[in-house]
A = this chain, B = another copy of it.
């Protein structure tokens, strides 16, 4: 379906059984111009979406989506039915499907990690698997609107950013662009809700293993490290190696990154805040909170906002940046829809002015 078509624009979703797939259905249910017409899953083909997700019922768009029959992923069929396809499958699997779809003229937003790292070798080292689509790798656009809005609009393939990187990069961008901080002394202490671990059966993410407790994981070797370093280095104009460390929160959704940097020269919190406020003044989906207000993950729950708060520890010359997102919405499916909007010529925030669910 190479030709441009009128709204509602038919889109597909490959991989419907995970939390990002579920979140995409939620976002699309309220989107005025995109219409989910295909949902695929190798394991669930033949069932209706409502059988998988009984909450996809009722009148209107929820019920219409619920009535969709899950199909086997088939590039030919997807290409016939869809103008754009979201890939919510594991990395490696995404490479092949992306290639098959793009060859058939379908736009693709890939939510996996397959096209995020520009450097093939870095990918192969951190993901321990060959990359077989080097051509597409070169072409893919990193789908963070605040950095790549223009490129995204013309892209055939968007690499949807990782959840942690979204929070970290948006948190660091103004400080690095303005040269406020040393690039050699950055520590990102990130905390994520359990939906970030996905929806596969696993003892480690059972309720009783996550509730009422807290732990770090994957210290010094989380796969989002090279992705963050790649974008941060571009922003800094120099190769940056930083300390990125992750923790598991007993919450469903939400990432809070506490980012520790060292100021190049003394600066008040007010001055730092002014830099951030100016950088994001025109951005609809980033909120620089008033000085003295620190972000909370619930304030972005279910939304596209990245909320940023700042503190300066004048005693020791550190700028501390707090960056909060909803890992499933801004950090995955919502951002994917923003990318789709741009690729399809729609307003970037179409269907995305979501209010947080409080409490």
Is A214 in contact with B252, judged by CB distance below 8 angstroms?
no
A108 to chain B, nearest CB (A): 24
Find chain B residues with CB under 8 A from A315 CB: 220, 241
Q: How far is B316's CA from A189's CA once the two chains are assembled, in angstroms?
A: 15
Find chain B residues with CB under 8 A from A322 CB: 216, 219
Q: Which residue on B lies nearest to A206, using beta carbons?
A: B205
Interface segment, one of A151-159, A171-179, A193-201: A193-201
Q: How far is B96's CA from A105's CA once the two chains are assembled, in angstroms?
A: 62
Q: How far is B168's CA from A295's CA once the two chains are assembled, in angstroms?
A: 24
Whether A294 is near chain B, meaning CB under 8 Å from some CB there, is: yes
Docked complex: A195-230 residues within 8 A CB-CB of B: 195, 199-203, 205-217, 219-220
The answer to whether residues A62 and B205 also contact, given A212-B252, A220-B313, A320-B220 and a CB cut-off of 8 A, is: no
Which of A54, A187, A194, A212 has most chain B Cβ within 10 Å? A212
Is B296 in contact with A213, judged by CB distance below 8 angstroms?
yes
A165 to chain B, nearest CB (A): 17
The answer to whether residues A318 and B243 also contact, given A294-B215, A302-B357, A359-B211 and a CB cut-off of 8 A, is: yes
A48 to chain B, nearest CB (A): 10
Whether A254 is near chain B, meaning CB under 8 Å from some CB there, is: yes
Q: How far is B249's CA from A357's CA once the two chains are assembled, in angstroms?
A: 18
Using a CB–CB cutoff of 8 Å, the interface residues on chain A facing chain B are 19, 22-23, 25-26, 29-30, 53-55, 57-62, 185, 187, 189, 191, 193-195, 199-203, 205-217, 219-220, 241-243, 245, 247, 249-254, 256, 258, 260, 284-285, 287, 289-290, 293-302, 305, 307, 309, 311-316, 318, 320, 322, 353, 355-359
Nearest 3 A/B pairs, CB to CB: A213-B298, A55-B299, A207-B210
- Interface CB pairs A-B, < 8 A, 22: A25-B355, A26-B355, A26-B358, A54-B289, A55-B307, A57-B289, A58-B284, A59-B353, A60-B353, A62-B355, A195-B359, A200-B203, A212-B253, A212-B298, A213-B297, A213-B298, A213-B301, A214-B251, A214-B256, A220-B313, A245-B258, A260-B260
